[in-house]
Protein backbone atom coordinates (compact mmCIF):
# COMPACT_ATOMS: atom_id res chain seq x y z
CA UNK A 1 0.00 0.00 0.00
CA UNK A 2 1.35 3.39 -1.00
CA UNK A 3 0.90 6.32 1.37
CA UNK A 4 0.41 9.77 -0.15
CA UNK A 5 1.56 12.56 2.19
CA UNK A 6 2.52 15.15 -0.46
CA UNK A 7 -0.23 17.70 0.14
CA UNK A 8 1.08 20.10 -2.55
CA UNK A 9 1.22 17.49 -5.31
CA UNK A 10 -0.47 18.78 -8.48
CA UNK A 11 0.34 16.02 -10.98
CA UNK A 12 0.84 12.27 -10.44
CA UNK A 13 2.26 10.27 -13.36
CA UNK A 14 3.31 6.63 -12.84
CA UNK A 15 2.29 5.09 -16.15
CA UNK A 16 3.83 1.92 -17.65
CA UNK A 17 5.29 0.74 -14.34
CA UNK A 18 3.65 -2.69 -13.98
CA UNK A 19 2.21 -1.68 -10.58
CA UNK A 20 0.00 -4.26 -8.83
CA UNK A 21 -2.81 -3.77 -6.32
CA UNK A 22 -5.53 -1.17 -5.88
CA UNK A 23 -5.60 2.61 -5.91
CA UNK A 24 -5.38 3.80 -2.28
CA UNK A 25 -8.25 5.92 -1.01
CA UNK A 26 -5.83 8.53 0.35
CA UNK A 27 -4.96 9.66 -3.19
CA UNK A 28 -8.29 11.48 -3.27
CA UNK A 29 -7.26 13.52 -0.24
CA UNK A 30 -4.62 15.44 -2.21
CA UNK A 31 -6.58 18.67 -2.49
CA UNK A 32 -4.30 20.32 -5.11
CA UNK A 33 -4.16 17.30 -7.41
CA UNK A 34 -5.24 18.18 -10.98
CA UNK A 35 -3.73 15.49 -13.21
CA UNK A 36 -3.51 11.73 -12.54
CA UNK A 37 -1.91 9.34 -15.06
CA UNK A 38 -1.95 5.68 -13.95
CA UNK A 39 -2.40 3.89 -17.28
CA UNK A 40 -0.73 0.66 -18.42
CA UNK A 41 -0.25 -0.90 -15.01
CA UNK A 42 -1.94 -3.86 -13.28
CA UNK A 43 -4.22 -1.96 -10.97
CA UNK A 44 -7.43 -3.76 -10.01
CA UNK A 45 -10.45 -3.57 -7.70
CA UNK A 46 -12.58 -0.40 -7.87
CA UNK A 47 -11.88 3.31 -8.26
CA UNK A 48 -11.91 5.33 -5.00
CA UNK A 49 -15.04 7.45 -4.97
CA UNK A 50 -13.18 10.48 -3.63
CA UNK A 51 -10.85 10.34 -6.65
CA UNK A 52 -13.38 10.70 -9.45
CA UNK A 53 -15.38 13.16 -7.32
CA UNK A 54 -12.27 15.27 -6.78
CA UNK A 55 -13.38 18.85 -7.50
CA UNK A 56 -9.95 20.08 -8.70
CA UNK A 57 -9.23 17.11 -10.97
CA UNK A 58 -8.93 18.09 -14.64
CA UNK A 59 -7.36 14.99 -16.21
CA UNK A 60 -7.64 11.34 -15.16
CA UNK A 61 -6.11 8.48 -17.13
CA UNK A 62 -6.68 4.96 -15.78
CA UNK A 63 -6.68 3.12 -19.11
CA UNK A 64 -5.20 -0.33 -19.72
CA UNK A 65 -5.52 -1.73 -16.20
CA UNK A 66 -7.59 -4.58 -14.76
CA UNK A 67 -10.55 -2.98 -13.03
CA UNK A 68 -13.41 -5.40 -12.52
CA UNK A 69 -17.07 -5.06 -13.35
CA UNK A 70 -18.96 -3.22 -16.02
CA UNK A 71 -17.10 -0.06 -16.96
CA UNK A 72 -17.11 2.90 -19.28
CA UNK A 73 -14.45 4.82 -21.15
CA UNK A 74 -14.37 8.57 -20.69
CA UNK A 75 -12.23 10.60 -23.09
CA UNK A 76 -11.24 14.19 -22.32
CA UNK A 77 -9.18 14.49 -25.49
CA UNK A 78 -8.29 12.11 -28.28
CA UNK A 79 -5.28 10.79 -26.34
CA UNK A 80 -6.57 10.88 -22.76
CA UNK A 81 -8.78 7.87 -22.12
CA UNK A 82 -10.25 7.17 -18.72
CA UNK A 83 -11.52 3.80 -17.57
CA UNK A 84 -13.77 3.67 -14.53
CA UNK A 85 -14.18 0.09 -13.30
CA UNK A 86 -17.39 -1.00 -11.56
CA UNK A 87 -19.11 2.19 -12.67
CA UNK A 88 -22.68 1.31 -13.54
CA UNK A 89 -23.22 3.80 -16.35
CA UNK A 90 -25.15 6.61 -14.65
CA UNK A 91 -23.89 10.17 -14.88
CA UNK A 92 -21.81 11.24 -11.83
CA UNK A 93 -22.38 14.86 -10.84
CA UNK A 94 -18.62 15.34 -10.41
CA UNK A 95 -18.15 15.30 -14.20
CA UNK A 96 -19.26 18.94 -14.28
CA UNK A 97 -15.91 19.94 -12.76
CA UNK A 98 -13.86 18.53 -15.64
CA UNK A 99 -12.21 20.71 -18.26
CA UNK A 100 -12.81 18.42 -21.25
CA UNK A 101 -15.31 15.65 -21.79
CA UNK A 102 -16.14 13.25 -24.61
CA UNK A 103 -17.99 10.04 -23.77
CA UNK A 104 -18.93 8.86 -27.27
CA UNK A 105 -19.27 5.13 -28.03
CA UNK A 106 -19.88 3.93 -24.48
CA UNK A 107 -22.78 2.40 -22.54
CA UNK A 108 -23.89 5.37 -20.53
CA UNK A 109 -27.52 5.68 -19.54
CA UNK A 110 -29.85 8.16 -17.89
CA UNK A 111 -30.36 11.89 -18.22
CA UNK A 112 -27.36 13.94 -19.39
CA UNK A 113 -26.85 16.89 -17.01
CA UNK A 114 -27.28 20.36 -18.47
CA UNK A 115 -25.36 22.50 -15.96
CA UNK A 116 -21.67 23.22 -15.48
CA UNK A 117 -19.43 21.86 -18.23
CA UNK A 118 -22.40 20.28 -20.02
CA UNK A 119 -23.90 23.68 -20.83
CA UNK A 120 -21.24 24.21 -23.53
CA UNK A 121 -21.15 20.69 -25.00
CA UNK A 122 -22.68 19.48 -28.26
CA UNK A 123 -23.91 16.17 -29.66
CA UNK A 124 -20.33 15.25 -30.66
CA UNK A 125 -19.57 14.56 -27.01
CA UNK A 126 -22.31 11.92 -26.61
CA UNK A 127 -22.33 9.84 -29.79
CA UNK A 128 -23.61 6.24 -29.65
CA UNK A 129 -24.85 6.09 -26.06
CA UNK A 130 -28.25 4.48 -26.63
CA UNK A 131 -29.50 4.68 -23.07
CA UNK A 132 -29.14 8.45 -22.71
CA UNK A 133 -31.75 11.19 -22.83
CA UNK A 134 -31.69 14.95 -22.39
CA UNK A 135 -31.50 18.17 -24.37
CA UNK A 136 -32.23 17.89 -28.13
CA UNK A 137 -28.90 19.53 -29.07
CA UNK A 138 -27.13 16.59 -27.38
CA UNK A 139 -28.49 14.33 -30.13
CA UNK A 140 -30.47 12.15 -27.69
CA UNK A 141 -34.21 11.69 -27.18
CA UNK A 142 -35.94 13.86 -24.57
CA UNK A 143 -36.46 12.37 -21.13
CA UNK A 144 -40.08 11.55 -20.31
CA UNK A 145 -41.60 9.73 -17.37
CA UNK A 146 -44.77 8.50 -19.07
CA UNK A 147 -46.05 8.24 -22.61
CA UNK A 148 -49.19 10.15 -23.30
CA UNK A 149 -52.25 8.17 -24.35
CA UNK A 150 -52.47 7.91 -28.10
CA UNK A 151 -55.57 9.17 -29.82
CA UNK A 152 -57.55 6.81 -32.01
CA UNK A 153 -58.45 9.31 -34.73
CA UNK A 154 -58.33 8.35 -38.43
CA UNK A 155 -55.22 10.51 -38.80
CA UNK A 156 -53.41 8.45 -36.21
CA UNK A 157 -54.51 5.25 -37.90
CA UNK A 158 -52.65 6.45 -40.99
CA UNK A 159 -49.44 6.52 -38.99
CA UNK A 160 -49.71 2.73 -38.82
CA UNK A 161 -51.00 2.10 -42.35
CA UNK A 162 -48.61 4.32 -44.33
CA UNK A 163 -45.40 2.63 -43.14
CA UNK A 164 -46.82 -0.74 -44.22
CA UNK A 165 -47.66 0.58 -47.69
CA UNK A 166 -44.28 2.30 -48.00
CA UNK A 167 -42.42 -0.86 -46.96
CA UNK A 168 -44.06 -2.89 -49.76
CA UNK A 169 -42.64 -0.39 -52.26
CA UNK A 170 -39.25 0.35 -50.71
CA UNK A 171 -38.29 -3.17 -49.57
CA UNK A 172 -37.93 -4.67 -53.10
CA UNK A 173 -35.81 -1.69 -54.12
CA UNK A 174 -33.56 -2.15 -51.11
CA UNK A 175 -33.13 -5.86 -51.86
CA UNK A 176 -32.21 -5.03 -55.45
CA UNK A 177 -29.58 -2.50 -54.37
CA UNK A 178 -28.10 -4.94 -51.86
CA UNK A 179 -27.80 -7.63 -54.52
CA UNK A 180 -26.24 -5.18 -56.96
CA UNK A 181 -23.59 -4.16 -54.48
CA UNK A 182 -22.95 -7.59 -53.01
CA UNK A 183 -19.38 -7.74 -54.25
CA UNK A 184 -18.55 -4.36 -52.80
CA UNK A 185 -20.22 -5.22 -49.51
CA UNK A 186 -18.09 -8.31 -49.25
CA UNK A 187 -15.15 -6.02 -48.54
CA UNK A 188 -16.86 -3.96 -45.85
CA UNK A 189 -14.84 -4.22 -42.63
CA UNK A 190 -15.90 -6.85 -40.13
CA UNK A 191 -17.32 -6.38 -36.67
CA UNK A 192 -13.79 -5.81 -35.35
CA UNK A 193 -13.89 -2.36 -36.94
CA UNK A 194 -17.18 -1.62 -35.20
CA UNK A 195 -15.78 -2.85 -31.90
CA UNK A 196 -12.77 -0.59 -32.40
CA UNK A 197 -15.14 2.32 -32.84
CA UNK A 198 -16.96 1.41 -29.64
CA UNK A 199 -13.69 1.42 -27.70
CA UNK A 200 -11.90 4.36 -29.29
CA UNK A 201 -14.47 6.33 -31.26
CA UNK A 202 -14.17 7.62 -34.83
CA UNK A 203 -12.32 10.62 -36.19
CA UNK A 204 -13.59 12.32 -39.35
CA UNK A 205 -11.78 12.68 -42.66
CA UNK A 206 -11.88 16.49 -42.29
CA UNK A 207 -10.13 16.17 -38.92
CA UNK A 208 -7.39 14.11 -40.58
CA UNK A 209 -6.98 16.70 -43.34
CA UNK A 210 -6.60 19.49 -40.78
CA UNK A 211 -4.17 17.41 -38.73
CA UNK A 212 -1.88 16.67 -41.69
CA UNK A 213 -2.33 19.93 -43.63
CA UNK A 214 -4.21 18.02 -46.34
CA UNK A 215 -1.72 15.13 -46.19
CA UNK A 216 1.15 17.41 -47.12
CA UNK A 217 4.26 15.62 -48.37
CA UNK A 218 6.37 17.31 -45.69
CA UNK A 219 4.32 15.39 -43.07
CA UNK A 220 4.97 12.01 -44.70
CA UNK A 221 6.71 9.52 -42.39
CA UNK A 222 6.96 6.68 -44.87
CA UNK A 223 5.17 4.34 -47.26
CA UNK A 224 4.39 0.70 -46.45
CA UNK A 225 2.94 -2.27 -48.24
CA UNK A 226 -0.68 -1.25 -47.69
CA UNK A 227 -0.53 2.52 -47.31
CA UNK A 228 1.24 5.68 -46.20
CA UNK A 229 1.96 7.11 -42.76
CA UNK A 230 1.74 10.83 -41.96
CA UNK A 231 2.61 12.93 -38.97
CA UNK A 232 -0.36 14.94 -37.75
CA UNK A 233 -1.37 17.31 -34.98
CA UNK A 234 -4.91 16.98 -33.62
CA UNK A 235 -7.05 19.95 -32.60
CA UNK A 236 -5.90 19.63 -28.97
CA UNK A 237 -2.21 19.73 -29.90
CA UNK A 238 -1.56 16.00 -29.69
CA UNK A 239 1.04 14.76 -32.17
CA UNK A 240 0.00 11.47 -33.80
CA UNK A 241 0.96 9.10 -36.61
CA UNK A 242 -1.83 8.59 -39.16
CA UNK A 243 -1.70 5.44 -41.26
CA UNK A 244 -3.83 5.84 -44.40
CA UNK A 245 -4.49 2.64 -46.32
CA UNK A 246 -4.40 2.41 -50.11
CA UNK A 247 -7.92 1.23 -50.96
CA UNK A 248 -6.93 0.47 -54.55
CA UNK A 249 -4.69 -2.38 -53.49
CA UNK A 250 -6.23 -5.84 -53.28
CA UNK A 251 -6.59 -7.08 -49.72
CA UNK A 252 -6.56 -3.62 -48.12
CA UNK A 253 -9.95 -4.04 -46.44
CA UNK A 254 -8.86 -7.36 -44.95
CA UNK A 255 -5.62 -5.76 -43.82
CA UNK A 256 -7.56 -2.99 -42.07
CA UNK A 257 -9.77 -5.56 -40.32
CA UNK A 258 -6.68 -7.46 -39.19
CA UNK A 259 -5.07 -4.37 -37.69
CA UNK A 260 -8.33 -3.41 -35.96
CA UNK A 261 -8.59 -6.87 -34.42
CA UNK A 262 -4.99 -6.76 -33.19
CA UNK A 263 -5.29 -3.25 -31.72
CA UNK A 264 -8.66 -4.10 -30.15
CA UNK A 265 -7.39 -7.16 -28.29
CA UNK A 266 -3.75 -6.30 -27.56
CA UNK A 267 -2.53 -4.11 -24.66
CA UNK A 268 1.23 -3.96 -24.01
CA UNK A 269 3.74 -1.23 -23.22
CA UNK A 270 5.98 -2.31 -26.13
CA UNK A 271 3.24 -2.19 -28.77
CA UNK A 272 2.38 1.08 -30.51
CA UNK A 273 -0.98 2.26 -29.09
CA UNK A 274 -4.02 3.04 -31.22
CA UNK A 275 -5.81 6.30 -30.46
CA UNK A 276 -8.77 6.25 -32.84
CA UNK A 277 -9.77 5.22 -36.36
CA UNK A 278 -11.35 6.73 -39.47
CA UNK A 279 -13.59 4.40 -41.47
CA UNK A 280 -15.79 5.49 -44.37
CA UNK A 281 -16.41 4.35 -47.97
CA UNK A 282 -13.60 6.64 -49.16
CA UNK A 283 -10.92 6.19 -46.50
CA UNK A 284 -9.59 3.72 -43.95
CA UNK A 285 -7.08 5.17 -41.49
CA UNK A 286 -5.58 4.36 -38.09
CA UNK A 287 -4.54 7.18 -35.77
CA UNK A 288 -1.63 5.88 -33.72
CA UNK A 289 0.65 7.02 -30.94
CA UNK A 290 3.48 9.10 -32.42
CA UNK A 291 6.88 7.57 -31.65
CA UNK A 292 9.35 10.41 -31.89
CA UNK A 293 12.76 8.75 -32.29
CA UNK A 294 12.20 6.87 -35.51
CA UNK A 295 12.81 3.18 -36.06
CA UNK A 296 15.38 0.66 -34.88
CA UNK A 297 18.87 1.05 -36.28
CA UNK A 298 21.72 0.32 -33.88
CA UNK A 299 20.02 0.77 -30.52
CA UNK A 300 19.99 -2.16 -28.14
CA UNK A 301 16.29 -2.52 -27.37
CA UNK A 302 16.08 -6.26 -27.88
CA UNK A 303 14.54 -6.77 -24.45
CA UNK A 304 11.61 -4.54 -25.44
CA UNK A 305 11.10 -6.44 -28.69
CA UNK A 306 11.26 -9.84 -27.00
CA UNK A 307 8.78 -8.66 -24.35
CA UNK A 308 6.32 -7.63 -27.06
CA UNK A 309 6.78 -10.95 -28.91
CA UNK A 310 6.25 -12.93 -25.71
CA UNK A 311 2.96 -11.07 -25.22
CA UNK A 312 1.82 -11.60 -28.82
CA UNK A 313 2.68 -15.32 -28.77
CA UNK A 314 1.67 -16.26 -25.20
CA UNK A 315 -0.34 -13.40 -23.69
CA UNK A 316 -3.74 -14.20 -25.23
CA UNK A 317 -5.87 -17.24 -26.02
CA UNK A 318 -5.10 -16.74 -29.72
CA UNK A 319 -1.49 -16.48 -30.85
CA UNK A 320 -0.74 -13.37 -32.92
CA UNK A 321 2.01 -13.83 -35.52
CA UNK A 322 3.36 -10.46 -36.66
CA UNK A 323 4.69 -11.85 -40.00
CA UNK A 324 6.78 -8.76 -40.86
CA UNK A 325 9.16 -8.11 -37.97
CA UNK A 326 11.99 -5.87 -39.17
CA UNK A 327 13.90 -2.77 -37.97
CA UNK A 328 11.58 -0.26 -39.66
CA UNK A 329 8.62 -1.74 -37.74
CA UNK A 330 10.31 -1.20 -34.37
CA UNK A 331 9.78 2.41 -33.24
CA UNK A 332 11.52 4.24 -30.39
CA UNK A 333 9.87 6.73 -28.07
CA UNK A 334 11.40 9.66 -26.17
CA UNK A 335 12.85 7.26 -23.57
CA UNK A 336 14.29 5.04 -26.32
CA UNK A 337 11.81 2.27 -25.44
CA UNK A 338 10.99 -0.01 -28.36
CA UNK A 339 7.43 -0.45 -29.67
CA UNK A 340 6.36 -3.02 -32.28
CA UNK A 341 4.21 -1.52 -35.05
CA UNK A 342 2.50 -2.41 -38.35
CA UNK A 343 0.16 -5.39 -38.04
CA UNK A 344 -1.43 -5.19 -41.49
CA UNK A 345 -0.41 -8.75 -42.49
CA UNK A 346 -0.52 -10.30 -39.00
CA UNK A 347 -2.15 -13.70 -38.58
CA UNK A 348 -4.09 -15.27 -35.72
CA UNK A 349 -3.52 -18.89 -34.67
CA UNK A 350 -6.34 -20.61 -32.84
CA UNK A 351 -5.66 -22.59 -29.67
CA UNK A 352 -3.53 -25.70 -30.43
CA UNK A 353 -2.90 -24.45 -34.00
CA UNK A 354 0.81 -24.45 -34.78
CA UNK A 355 0.84 -22.63 -38.13
CA UNK A 356 -1.30 -21.25 -40.95
CA UNK A 357 -1.01 -20.46 -44.64
CA UNK A 358 -0.71 -17.01 -46.21
CA UNK A 359 -0.33 -15.50 -49.66
CA UNK A 360 1.05 -12.20 -48.37
CA UNK A 361 4.82 -12.18 -48.00
CA UNK A 362 6.75 -10.25 -45.40
CA UNK A 363 10.02 -8.48 -46.12
CA UNK A 364 12.66 -10.54 -47.93
CA UNK A 365 15.71 -10.95 -45.73
CA UNK A 366 13.72 -11.19 -42.51
CA UNK A 367 11.11 -13.88 -43.24
CA UNK A 368 11.79 -17.51 -42.32
CA UNK A 369 12.56 -19.88 -45.25
CA UNK A 370 9.31 -21.85 -44.90
CA UNK A 371 7.42 -18.55 -45.06
CA UNK A 372 8.79 -17.69 -48.50
CA UNK A 373 8.79 -21.22 -49.93
CA UNK A 374 5.50 -22.61 -48.65
CA UNK A 375 3.59 -19.56 -47.38
CA UNK A 376 3.57 -21.16 -43.94
CA UNK A 377 3.64 -18.76 -40.98
CA UNK A 378 4.06 -19.51 -37.29
CA UNK A 379 5.33 -17.92 -34.09
CA UNK A 380 8.71 -19.50 -34.88
CA UNK A 381 8.87 -17.30 -37.97
CA UNK A 382 8.70 -14.17 -35.80
CA UNK A 383 11.53 -15.57 -33.67
CA UNK A 384 13.56 -16.12 -36.84
CA UNK A 385 13.02 -12.48 -37.87
CA UNK A 386 13.99 -11.40 -34.35
CA UNK A 387 17.20 -13.40 -34.70
CA UNK A 388 18.05 -11.67 -37.99
CA UNK A 389 17.69 -8.29 -36.28
CA UNK A 390 19.97 -9.46 -33.47
CA UNK A 391 22.62 -10.40 -36.02
CA UNK A 392 22.34 -6.98 -37.64
CA UNK A 393 22.69 -5.16 -34.31
CA UNK A 394 25.65 -7.18 -33.08
Percent of the chain predicted with pLDDT > 70: 63
Annotated active-site residue in 207, 324, 342, 344: 324
- Kindly compute the dihedral angle of the four CA atoms of residues 336, 338, 339, 342, in this order, to the nearest 10 degrees: 110
Report yes or no on 159 lying in a domain: yes
Q: Is 324 a catalytic residue?
A: yes
- Same domain as 18, residue 129: yes
Given a cut of 50, whether residue 151 has pLDDT beyond it is no
What would the pLDDT profile of 69-115 be if each residue is shown by its tens digit?
Answer: 333 334 333 333 343 333 334 455 555 555 556 555 555 667 887 77
Q: Which of 165, 185, 205 is the last residue of a domain?
A: 185
Given a cut of 60, whether residue 155 has pLDDT beyond it is no
What would the pLDDT profile of 330-360 be if each residue is shown by its tens digit?
Answer: 888 888 888 898 888 888 887 777 778 877 7
- Same domain as 309, residue 252: no
pLDDT number for residue 192? 47
pLDDT number for residue 206? 82
- Among 320-324, 342-346, 386-390, the least confident range: 342-346
pLDDT number for residue 242? 92
pLDDT number for residue 101? 61
DSSP reduced 3-state for 189: coil
Cβ atoms < 10 Å from Cβ of 292: 13
Which residues span the domain enclosing 68?
11-138
What's the CA gap between 45 and 276, in Å, rounded? 27
DSSP reduced 3-state for 277: strand
- Among 14-23, 150-159, 165-174, the least confident range: 150-159
- Same domain as 315, residue 203: no
| 243 annotated as belonging to a binding site for a ligand | yes
- Among 17-21, 54-58, 151-155, the least confident range: 151-155
pLDDT number for residue 386? 92
Across the chain, mean pLDDT equals 71
Q: Give 325's pLDDT tier (boundaries 50, 70, 90).
A: very high
- Same domain as 109, residue 81: yes
In sequence order, which ranges of the chain are alpha helices (DSSP H)? Answer: 49-52, 154-180, 182-185, 191-200, 205-212, 252-265, 302-314, 369-374, 379-393
- Same domain as 284, residue 302: no
Q: What is the CATH number of the domain that holds 223?
A: 3.30.200.20
Given a cut of 60, whether residue 14 has pLDDT beyond it is yes
- Same domain as 109, residue 24: yes
- Among 50-64, 139-153, 170-184, the least confident range: 170-184
pLDDT number for residue 390? 84
- Same domain as 252, residue 242: yes
Question: What is the number of alpha carbons within 13 Å of residue 33 lying toward its C-beta?
Answer: 22
Taking phi over 0 as left and psi of -120 to 50 as alpha, with beta for the rest, 69 belongs to left
Q: How many DSSP H helices and E strands does the chain contain?
A: 9, 20
Q: Which of 290, 314, 335 is the last residue of a domain?
A: 290
- Same domain as 326, residue 230: no
What's the CA gap between 51 and 68, in Å, rounded? 17
Report yes or no on 161 lying in a domain: yes
What would the pLDDT profile of 205-243 be if each residue is shown by its tens digit?
Answer: 888 888 998 888 888 888 877 788 899 998 878 899 998
For residues 161-178, give the mean pLDDT.
57
- Same domain as 180, residue 191: no
Report yes or no on 147 lying in a domain: no
What would the pLDDT profile of 279-295 be if each residue is shown by its tens digit?
Answer: 777 788 888 888 877 66
State pTM to two decimals: 0.39
- Same domain as 347, residue 254: no
What domain count does the chain have?
4
Report yes or no on 340 lying in a domain: yes
pLDDT number for residue 315? 82
Q: What is the CATH number of the domain that holds 374?
A: 1.10.510.10
- Same domain as 282, residue 166: no
For residues 169-187, give the mean pLDDT.
52
Amino acid sequence: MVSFQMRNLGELSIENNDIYGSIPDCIGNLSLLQKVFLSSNRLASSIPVNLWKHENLLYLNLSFNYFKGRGIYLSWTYHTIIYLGQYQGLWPEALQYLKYLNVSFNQLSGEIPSGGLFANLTAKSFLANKGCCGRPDFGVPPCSSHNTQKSKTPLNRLTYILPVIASTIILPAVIYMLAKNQKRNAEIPSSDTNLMAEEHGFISYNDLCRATNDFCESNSLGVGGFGSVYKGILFDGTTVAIKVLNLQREGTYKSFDTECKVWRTMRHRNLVKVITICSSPDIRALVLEYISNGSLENVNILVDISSALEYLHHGQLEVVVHCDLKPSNILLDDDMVGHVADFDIAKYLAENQDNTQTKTLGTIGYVAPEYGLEGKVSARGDVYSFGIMMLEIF
